[in-house]
Amino acid sequence: MIEARRLHILRAVADHRTVTAAAAALYLTPSAVSQQLTALEQETGHRLVERSAKGVRLTPAGEILLSHTNAVLAQLERAEAELAAYGSGEAGTVTVAAFATGIAQVVAPAVARLAETAPGICIRVQDAEGDASLPMVLDRQVDVAVAVEYRGAPPADDPRLTHVPLYAEPFDAVVPVGHRLADTAEIPLADLAKDPWIGPYPGNPCHDVVVLACESAGFQPRLEHSSDDFRAVVALASAGAGVALVPRSALKGMDLTRVIVRPVDGVAPTRRVFAAVRRGAEGHPLIRPVLEALGRAAQEA
């Protein structure tokens, strides 16, 4: 008989590529993870992982078991959801990981709504970029992620996750007051090819959006300054340090007196935001109201 918790460990190793990283994500010791993998191999009668100096990879037998693992774990999530519904499930804690502007745009309004409509649900919020929040969901560190589409992100049909689209927003061009394009109604990105740029660090999903948009306009942005805080990005633009692309919602409430904000000419780069939960958990009586509140907040934003 294969133990479900060992399947969870197998998936964590496949996701993180090393025993050490998987152990850290699961709050286990590396030796405990190795022992569970060995026990799983004994249960299945097959070698499931191969270790090398570069990490761990699944054998063909391990890949076969992983494909079933995703289905098994999703079904267990559904079983937990139905049992929770049977026991009413009207009170409990749901942990949500989201990036800063996502918290302001949809998470905080959802928390306020749930305080009125589902007072038994306690929401705990963690600030995390989209590329960090999805692994947190898969590793059961949080229940819900509010994330952004980015290169390398799990696709919408990933068997491990259920995606719920929330909203899409354009990036606007931000240039210093007095910039040569300040009087332009819409700024063509190609006209900013020779400017110094300010943008998020590599790894931040918004970094990919900025770089891909510039590449589509025919140039590689010269990123002179880096910050994941858009207030810092705008402050640097205000100081004349460079130009930037900033999501429209991130500009709300900022001091924009020393910058010019203009739409991008043509097809604007877009940030697409979604909520994600472990597949099968979307019907849980605690998680379902949270997803509904996030969706309503996105519609009203």
Average pLDDT score over residue span 241-260 = 94
pLDDT reading at 86 higher than 70: no
The highest-level CATH class for domain 168-271 is alpha beta
pLDDT reading at 152 higher than 80: no
Question: 184, 178, 172: which is closest to 259 by C-alpha?
Answer: 178
pLDDT reading at 49 higher than 90: no
- Give the fold, CATH level 3, of 90-166+272-300: D-Maltodextrin-Binding Protein; domain 2 (3.40.190)
Q: pLDDT value at position 113?
A: 95
Q: How far is CA 202 from CA 112, 128, 132, 160, 208, in A?
A: 33, 15, 13, 26, 7
pLDDT-derived band at 40, boundaries 50, 70, 90: confident
pLDDT reading at 26 higher than 80: yes
Out of 25-34, 120-129, 156-165, 235-244, pick the least confident.
25-34
Q: pLDDT value at position 163?
A: 95
Q: Over the stretch 171-202, which tens digit does the pLDDT of each residue have? A: 999 999 999 999 999 999 999 999 999 999 98
Whether the domain at 4-83 and the domain at 90-166+272-300 fall into the same CATH topology: no
Helices H, strands E: what count in the chain?
Answer: 10, 11
Give the H/E segment covering residue 276: strand 270-278
C-beta separation of 199 from 221 below 8 A: yes
- pTM surpassing 0.85? no
DSSP letter string, 178-219: T-TTTT-SSB-GGGGTTSEEEEPPTTSHHHHHHHHHHHHTT-
The highest-level CATH class for domain 4-83 is mainly alpha
Tokens of 278: 């472990």
Domain boundaries, the chain: 4-83, 90-166+272-300, 168-271
Q: pLDDT value at position 4?
A: 80
